[in-house]
Every structure is written in structure tokens, then in C-alpha cells.
Structure 1
């Protein structure tokens, strides 16, 4: 790998471990890879392999892994139908999800399982921590919820079918090209649109095409609701119809107002926003100025060799030794 140029800011790589495990479980189940005790290991191996490739690509100074609390869920307590449409997890996936923390911790990585919360919350808190401490951050996930954390110093590597090298790295400009909104508007956009994967319907009649227009022309949903409350949406209708006249689009102001003021529309939006918002105040336990802290690179070579070799894939052990145990100053920025 070509050595990256020196950076002015240190880099934190925050990984949504469950999302990588889910993807690799389905993509690699045909291999039936087992560890040296005969336990299913294809999802764990695939996750680790992608982590190593991401480290090789970004050369981070520290890593943190978010895990879901599998025993309880704050969001499910608020909304029992949360994620209800998803298929029941295969037993071999469940087993590997439960072993992920032990594997990552054994390597010397920092893992966080927030009580009642999810890896998305760890990602949101990691982005906030990086901003407050003068670091850059890359969030590694396949979940769109993390798009709300994109900023000048936080990017999202959205892991898709092409693996790490083929996955898009989203910054504010690329997010805007994809969805027509800026990062600070993404949560409002998502709350309007809804999220079928989490079983969260959106505001009826407002989707991926119309929500960006509304947010762009009005600036924010706070401004939208304020206009509806104070003058019955008069400015909203005028602003949207003016945009339609300028662009040659069909007038939409009155129809948009009707959808936003329909019974339950405001409540649906507010509820989605509360469920979708990631926690940004979690204690992550990152102490990067304390040598040997969990998550700091490089890791202990003997430890890495022993843990990765237990998966029984020599090529992955070799890659792990190269990217995890390389001492500072030997190509790492």
C-alpha cells in the first residue's frame, strides 16, 4: 500500500461491528469457515478482514467498535414494532454476534456496548468526540443513519457489495449529490421519508424527491412548523410555489401544506426524529494520550498473531500482522 501523506489531525476509525457481521454472514455463509474449535467463524472472519482493509486504506491512529446491546433496547421499549419487519436471525449469526466483543477485545481494540442502545449511537458519539478533540473521523457502517454525523471532519465509509475498496466514502458534498440535503438536514429528511428497514413509516405523501425540496427552500423543519403555527403555512406555500414557477415544476405548495397538517403528520415526524437520532454523549473510554490504551495502534504482535491465527486463515493473519503491529514511524502517518 502506498504511504498516505502526513495529516495535520489524528484519525479515529469508528466501526459499526454488527452491520459488518450481518453483511459478512450472508456473503460468506457458503464458505462454512470454522475456527480452531469448530465454531462458525465466517462472519467474524469477514468482519475482521474488512476492518484490516479499512485500516490499510486509512491508516488510523485509533479505532473504536460499537456493538448493539442484545439484551434490551430503549428504542424497542418506546416502539415495540421497531425493526419488526426484519427476518429472524440465523442461529449461527447470533452466535458470532455474541462472540464479536471477545474477539475484538482480545486483539486490543476498544469496544463499547451502550446499555439499551446500538452501534449507531457509538458512531454518533465517536464523531462528536473527534470534533471536540480536534481529530478527523471515519465511520465504517452499512447503515444510513450515520449520514447525519457527516461533517467537514467526519466521513462515512458505507460498506456495500463491493467491500471496503468498492464502498463510497461520503463527505458533505457527496451526501448532497446523493440526497439533495446537507448533513445537518439529513435527520429531518429521514424523519420525513421514514425508514422501512426499521419499520418506521414516514409522513404520508412526502418522500425522497419532495423532502429535499422542502428542506432546501425552507431551511429546516423548525422553520416549517413555525410557519404553520404562526401563519397557517402561508409563507411555506408561497415559497414552494415560487420555486415551482422558477423551475417549471407543477405547483406543490398547497399539497405539501395539506400533507404536513394532516392528522398525525407532526406526531409521526417528531417520533421518527426521536427514534432516529443517535446519542452523541456516550462515554467512549478513549484515552489516546495514554500509551497502551485499548484501540491505539500499533497492537501487540504476539497478541495479534495468537488471536487471528485462531480463525485459521493464514492470509488474514499475515495481513493483520502487517497493518496492526506496524510501529509508529514505519509508514504510518
Structure 2
């Protein structure tokens, strides 16, 4: 499969940032019937599925470095600020918890880079990876099943979203494809999400401003900062006029006054700003990447004996052979 980033001489290097928990969750549910066990007899189907998808991604994108974000499973700054954060999600199966707890050790043992930020989540690592790549002149691909990472899409960062059908059917989202999906520019996605809310994280949106209205509002006004300023200084007259003009051009009913009323309602701005704070990924984490120091964690290729020994513990010979080839034997043309 052809890489989405031309890797000709002089092209930017590529960082692959993997949301490990999202891959583990998906593979746990997709592969539980296999009841795969490692050589110690412990559950390994989610770990094995995650590793297979990682190997496919590395083979597809040919990255120079790989970093895995992991959730801090002992503390959460978001849950501390909002105790109902992610409330309503089913209790995790014990076998999944066991594999979530072991994932970091497996990846570290291979020689790959992992980061479990205190009180934070894998998405914060993805946000920091995108920022690190832009600051260092690299490209970045984030591998995840979580929509939160869409906020990090830019000219240098794309998101490979794992959905039903596995790696081969995963869409690679760039700014143009994001706009096609949601009707918003990449720089506006976080504001769009804060207006819409996120049921999976138990974050209600601004009442009456859903996934259809939010893109129109942002397209007509450019940013929520402009919207709030107009509501503060002009009672939203320019917002209403812009939306009504759009309605006239598209043949729809005039919605300007109704949208302004919803945005000016008590608690609406507070809900938006709270969602924005909860959804924004930390982009200033120290990833510990030292790409100019050969042999440091995260850089490819890896030691073949080490890969064989670590992956071999999962007890699937074909995956061990694939891992050695992809992680150790491939000639990474630059």
C-alpha cells in the first residue's frame, strides 16, 4: 500500500502516534471469542490484535518513529473536575483490564516509546505528538478509533481512524476529508465538538445547537470568539443576519434569531467553555523522543532478537515472524 506521505529524499520524517487504549478496547471486543492466551496462560487476544494493527500501520506508513499513548488508570484530572466524565460506560471486563495494564510493558519491552501522562489520557499524547511533529518539521499520523483526535488534524497531521473492518478499511482523514464529513475546517473542529457535545464522554452539548447547526454557525462567523463577541456587544444581530442570509441562499427557513436565543440562554456559554476545556488535549507533554540518538526508544528498526523474544511470548508464530520482518528487517528507505 502506498504511503500517503511521499517519502522522497528531503521529505519530512514521519511520527506514528498510536492511541493504544482505543486499539485494545476494539480488539478485546472483536477477538474475545478466540480466547488467545500467552505462554503464561494470561489473556492476550486484545494485545495480539493491537500488535497486529500496529504492524499493519507501520508497514503502511513506514514511519521513522512510533510513540504510544496510554491512559493513566490511577487518576484523572478530567474526572476530578467533572465526576460524571465518561459516566454511564459499561464496567470493563477483567480480561480487558488485565491487558490494558500489561500493554505498556509489552511495548516498552519491544523498544518502542510509550507515555502514560500523570492524570491524563492517550489523546493528550496524540495532541502533543501532533504539536511535536509540527515544531520539528515532521509529519504525523495518529492511529485511533476516537474522534477527539480530529481536533489535531492539520496540513502535517492526519488521523487514521479505526472503525469496523479493521486497518484496511480505516479512513485516513486530512483537512479536506474532515470538512467533507463535518462541514468544518480542521481548525474549527474543537469548537464544533464543544458545541455538539460528546455522548461517549457524557458531555452534553449546547442546547439546540447540534451537529447540523454548529458547522453553519462556524462557517458564517469564522469562530466562536466572533460569535460571543457579537452577542456581548450587538445582542447577536450580526450572527442572526449572517445565518438568515445563509438560510435565504440555501432555501431554508430563517433560524438566526432562534440560534442567538439558544446561545444567549443561561448556561449556554458556560457549557461550551466547559466542553472546550474538557475536550482540548494537552499539547505540551514531553514525549521523550530523541530522533537523532540511534537506538533510543521509538526509533525504527528494532533489534530482531528482542522482537522475536517479546512477541513470541504472545504465542502466535505468524505474528512473531511478521513483527521481526516489519520492525527489524525492513530497509527503511529515506
2:51 paired with 1:48: yes
Deviation at 1:176, TM superposition (A): 0.1
2:231 to 222, 228, 231: 228
Structure-2 residue corresponding to 1:332: 333
Equivalent positions of 1:169-318 (< 5 A) are: 169-318=172-321
Q: How many residues align?
A: 331
Cα deviation 1:207-241 (Å, max 9, x = unaligned): 11110000000000000000000111011111111
Cα deviation 1:149-171 (Å, max 9, x = unaligned): 00001000001111111100000
Structure-2 residue corresponding to 1:105: 108
Structure-2 residue corresponding to 1:6: 7
CA distance in 2 between counterparts of 1:188 and 1:237 reads 19
SS state at 1:123 partner: helix
CA distance in 2 between counterparts of 1:317 and 1:5 reads 29
Structure-1 residue corresponding to 2:150: 147
CA distance in 1 between counterparts of 2:2 and 2:324 reads 17
Deviation at 1:85, TM superposition (A): 1.3
TM-score (norm 2): 0.97
Deviation at 1:247, TM superposition (A): 1.1
Q: What is the root-mean-square deviation in Å for CA atoms of aligned residues?
A: 1.1
1:116 to 109, 116, 119: 119
Structure-1 residue corresponding to 2:24: 21
SS state at 2:66 partner: strand
Moved segments of 4+, more than 2 Å: 1-7, 330-333
Residues 124, 2 of structure 1: alpha-carbon distance in 2 compared, 3 angstrom cutoff: closer
What runs of 5+ residues in structure 2 fail to find an aligned partner?
none
Say whether the 8 Å CA contact 2:2–2:60 is kept in structure 1: no
Say whether the 8 Å CA contact 2:154–2:175 is kept in structure 1: yes
Deviation at 1:332, TM superposition (A): 3.4
Residues 5, 219 of structure 1: alpha-carbon distance in 2 compared, 3 angstrom cutoff: closer
TM-score (norm 1): 0.98
CA distance in 1 between counterparts of 2:47 and 2:203 reads 29
